[in-house]
A and B are shown apart, each in its own frame.
Chain A
Amino acid sequence: MDKLQMSQMLRDMLRARAFEEAAAQGYAQGKIAGFLHLYPGEEAVAVGVLHAAEPGDYVVSTYREHVHALVRGVPAPEIMAELHGKKTGISKGMGGSMHLFDASRRFLGGYAIVGETYPIALGAAYAVAYRRLPEAVICFFGDGAVNQGTFHESLNMAALWKLPILFVCENNHYQIGTEIHRHSAITEVYKRACGYGIPAEKVDGMDVLSVHAAARKALERVRSGDGPQFLELETYRYRGHSMADPGSYRPSVELDAYRANDPIAAAIHEAESGYPSPEAIAAAGPDCITLFSAHCCRENHLDETGIARMRQEIQTEIDAAVRFAEASEEPDMETAWSILHANRRYETLMESPE
């Protein structure tokens, strides 16, 4: 992997965390409402997988999808504005945090009903396969989503018709508050794909380079017509399920074990909606992001000054995104109606009588 790609990946990991910090802050200040599901801890998954994707590929995501959209190239201001429910948001204020869509970047949306990403990916991949295009569909879901009926229905059809889908399980071990051993008879998620003859692999989801390498290999197989592939990426979310969830169901010994390797997590107090100060982060030791920073430095791709500059640039970008979101107009009801009826175009639904 070359220097440029490494530094782009690190930049996206830092952007991801900075974006989510800003979102948490906006939520704490009451500027962002509704459900807000944050991604810190899982950055290596989105960044590793999406940096292995081509611009022509399609991405289907869940309700924890700000970072997927961001890494896919959706501009931070448009995501932030959507979180604020503004007209300038990527979904024009009609979707919100859990429903980011971007047709131009082939981002087929965030879905808030667990288990919906599979059939959407199935349909997109069916269209791609029918048209014989060299594109892949990347389908994200969590460990909690593999017990939904659509998982089995869709894996079966994807394998049956050899559809070009990369299934990506973000296994953070929790379906909201229920730990995987209490929700799944088979806790090694990748093994379930064997039931449908889909090649599957379990990868360390905290190591962005491993994720990237595995995703690239799998996507090559998808594009070469081998049919669907399956990756289970073991990761961990440092925060509760959403901002409404203090995450108190998780044993502190478990949290501490993960925190031992993560400075940011170490500094997070789950019950607080704010994020740690830069000093607290710096004091805490290596995490997946700083590990990767260190790796980049060792390889002489970057140095401390370069990374500090990068952080500075990112902060400027995210601050601007927040300002943009806050200053943007709210949509009016007329806009909502015109969006609802947008696909009617020139259709005549009925005639008014004489």
Chain B
Amino acid sequence: MSEEIYYWQALNRVMDTEMAADDSIITLGEDVGLYGGTYRVTEGLMAKYGEWRVRDTPISENSFTGLGVGAAMLGLRPVVEIMTINFALFAIDAIINMAAKIPFMSGAQFPMPLTIRMPGGVARQLGAQHSQRLEHTLMNVPGLRMVVPATPQDAYWQLRQAIHSDDPIVFLEHELLYFSKGMVDETAVVPPIHQAMVRRPGRDMTCIAYSRMVLVALEAAEQLATEGIEMTVIDLRSLSPIDWETCVQSVQQTHHCLIVEEDCRFAGAGAELAATLQERCFYFLDRPIQRVAGLDIPTPFNGKLEAASIPRTEDILAAARRLISSAGDQS
């Protein structure tokens, strides 16, 4: 049975049902308790499960994320909320040096059933310190897994899967997605957590995107269809690991590949995608792989400049047209 709900509601629903089913699940972070979470994800949980399971923490990202690591070693399944990814820079040691490495360095003696939730991305004029994307750093860490749900349905499925996993998983949300709506079917067959999905099929080119950029890519695909260009849109859903087979299969069919990412272009997810796909699809490609990405600039506060610093529908349209036209030969 499906129902149209907000992205934050999908997350909230998972937290509630999972916490009801398993008392080893706890959640902690700044304002997750009494306040109900900055984006309402933990709303109502403290009243229901008490303060030991829904813990408001001091502003100490490194130590409360590390607390999650230590608790996970003893068998709890903590869901740590970091208010925004920008604050996760304080917790990088707990995430990279501790969560990602303890299971390995201990010779697999300890599980790490830790989920670290946080929103990233450019929102609306929050300034350079509150508009970052950090996936380029976190996807480069062996031992860490990272999912990037774009829809309420995926938020629902993937959070549940992340909580059930014994690996540490970074659950990357997006500030502009919390209040997006979508159908959520709680009884549908669940795809594997790191599986990419074809959101829209198209014979002419393959567009690979993740998180909010999937929605922007779909808008562009709609427009391109009216011009007679059929663009496949693949929603990666996961940045570590990446479902290469789905990407390779599509690129081998369309012979054109466009990568869209909100993160800065330099040394990011798009660079990894382009490098690996050219290794695996070189003889299938009619044109060089193209990237549409965030500019390599701290996000400007000014609204117009901010909007221009990350991919917009028109940027994707222009890149797609270039890629498909003969002009692409010169790129």
Contacts and interface: CB of A to CB of B under 8 A. Distances in A.
B70 A353 contact: no
A1 interface: no
A95 interface: yes
Nearest to A338: B108
B76 A130 contact: yes
Contact of A103 (B64, B67, B76, B110): B110
Contacts of B52: 129-130
A94 interface: yes
A348 B192 contact: yes
B327 interface: no
- Interface core residue of A125, A128, A348 (most chain B CB under 10 Å): A348
A348 B74 CA distance: 24
B107 A90 contact: yes
Contact of A127 (B57, B62, B74, B243): B74
Nearest to B145: A349
Interface stretch (A28-36, A115-123, A270-278, A288-296): A115-123
A350 interface: yes
A118 B112 contact: no
A103 B103 CA distance: 11
A141 to B, nearest CB: 13
Given A101-B106, A123-B66, A124-B71, A113 B111 contact: no
A346 to B, nearest CB: 10
Interface string A12-38: 000000000000000000000000000
Contacts of B245: 350, 352-353
B74 A343 contact: no
Nearest to B52: A130
Interface in B11-69: 26, 52-53, 57-58, 60, 62-69
Given A157-B60, A349-B241, A350-B241, A95 B106 contact: yes
B313 interface: no
A48 interface: no
B63 A157 contact: yes
B106 A128 contact: no
Given A92-B107, A153-B58, A122 B192 contact: no
B58 to A, nearest CB: 6
Contact of B105 (A58, A95, A149, A349): A95
A338 B103 CA distance: 11
B50 to A, nearest CB: 10
Nearest to B164: A347
B110 A101 contact: yes
A94 to B, nearest CB: 5
Contacts of A154: 60, 63, 66-67
A108 interface: yes
- Interface core residue of B73, B98, B110 (most chain A CB under 10 Å): B73
A341 B192 CA distance: 16
Contacts, number: 168
A347 B160 CA distance: 13
A119 B106 contact: no
Nearest to B66: A119
B106 A124 contact: no
A244 interface: no
- Interface core residue of B98, B108, B191, B194 (most chain A CB under 10 Å): B108
Interface in A117-147: 118-130
B142 interface: yes
Contacts of B143: 340
A212 interface: no
Contacts of B62: 119, 149-150, 153
Contacts of B74: 58, 123-124, 127-128
Contact of B106 (A109, A338, A345, A353): A109
A100 B243 CA distance: 34
Contacts of B26: 130
B70 A123 contact: yes
- Interface core residue of B53, B70, B94, B102 (most chain A CB under 10 Å): B70
B75 A127 contact: yes
B68 A95 contact: no
Interface in A52-94: 58, 60, 89-94
Given A60-B70, A153-B64, A342-B103, 6 more contacts: A94-B106, A123-B74, A153-B63, A343-B103, A350-B246, A351-B195
Interface of A: 58, 60, 89-95, 99, 101-103, 108-109, 111, 113, 116, 118-130, 149-150, 153-154, 156-157, 160, 338-340, 342-345, 347-353
14 contacts: A60-B70, A92-B108, A93-B107, A118-B66, A120-B66, A122-B70, A123-B69, A123-B78, A124-B73, A125-B70, A130-B76, A157-B57, A344-B167, A350-B194
What 8 pairs across the A-B complex have the smallest Cβ distances?
A123-B70, A119-B66, A92-B107, A101-B106, A153-B60, A153-B63, A342-B108, A127-B74
